[in-house]
Amino acid sequence: MVAISLRGAAARMFRAIDPVVLLEGPTGTGKSAPACLKVHTIAMQHRVRIVMARQTRESLTDSTMFVLEQSVLAHDPIGHLIIGNSGRSNRDRYAYPNGSEIVCVGFDKPGKLLSADYDLALVDQAEQVNVSAIEHLLTRLRNNSGFDDKQLILVANPDSPAHWLLRWEEQGKLVRHRSVIQDNPLFWDSARGCFTRDGEAYMEKQSRLSGMNYRRYVLGEWCAAEGLIFAYDPSRHLIDAKLVRQDNRWNVQYAEGRTVALEWFACGVDWGDAKPGAIVVMGFDRDNRG
């Protein structure tokens, strides 16, 4: 049997059959492992095709796939058969003896995602993924397997109060389950009603956060930074490079000859009162470096 204790929001998410569910809350509240347990349990009970995704394939490999293997499959009697011998970085799916499979995809390389149909989808760190990618994914939940409870499972940390995840809840497009630190059996002893030793150590580290990070990752608030004034420093903020259009994409071409391809852009506007307003456009490479 799998050694994960489901509590609170995680237990509600596990039982939910709504078409789109969101499990969100502060860091350390135990969100990814229950979500991985849910897709594994369904894969064991039905012959289904599941996609597991994050914003980048690298982040999926280092986090969600690691959680699936160490927290779920390692505790299942046939987990070693599902994991197989290949390393996570080279793995594109988990194959189950009953014919089920969990396909691993990063939204930075969505080719496989857009060309296949699925029964379920799990998107970890969904706050990092844009709404267009999620809507694309929803169109792929149409696998003709006989499994009727098609579902998109979103796992997220709190982000901006204007985030599309909150708008979807307001519009009735998803059902939201809010986790708290007491939901994580690794950090909270429910019998004694206090933090475990690991929990005390974790919360001590979290107490060092400040401002927006503390409000989001400790208190679980969806909030934005306020009152920030950008301190312009030419020595730090000017680079000897130019933006060029090449091969139907934008690239940053540095004076020394190095070229960096930009994968996506973000734009922000702030109309200042005490200080001048600003319109900022940022380009990011495949590793999300701006």
Give tens-digit pLDDT for 176-195: 999 999 999 999 999 999 99
Give tens-digit pLDDT for 37-46: 999 999 999 9
Give tens-digit pLDDT for 193-234: 999 999 999 999 999 999 999 999 999 999 987 665 666 667
Query: Does 153 score more than 70 pLDDT?
Result: yes
What contacts 125, CB < 8 A, 6 or more positions away?
Answer: 54, 55, 59, 63, 155, 156, 157
Write down the pLDDT at residue 235. 65
Percentage above 70 pLDDT, the chain: 89
Give tens-digit pLDDT for 132-144: 999 999 999 999 9
Tell me the whole-structure pTM to 2 decimals: 0.78
Comparing 288 with 218, which gets the higher pLDDT?
Answer: 218
Mean per-residue pLDDT, 273-288: 67
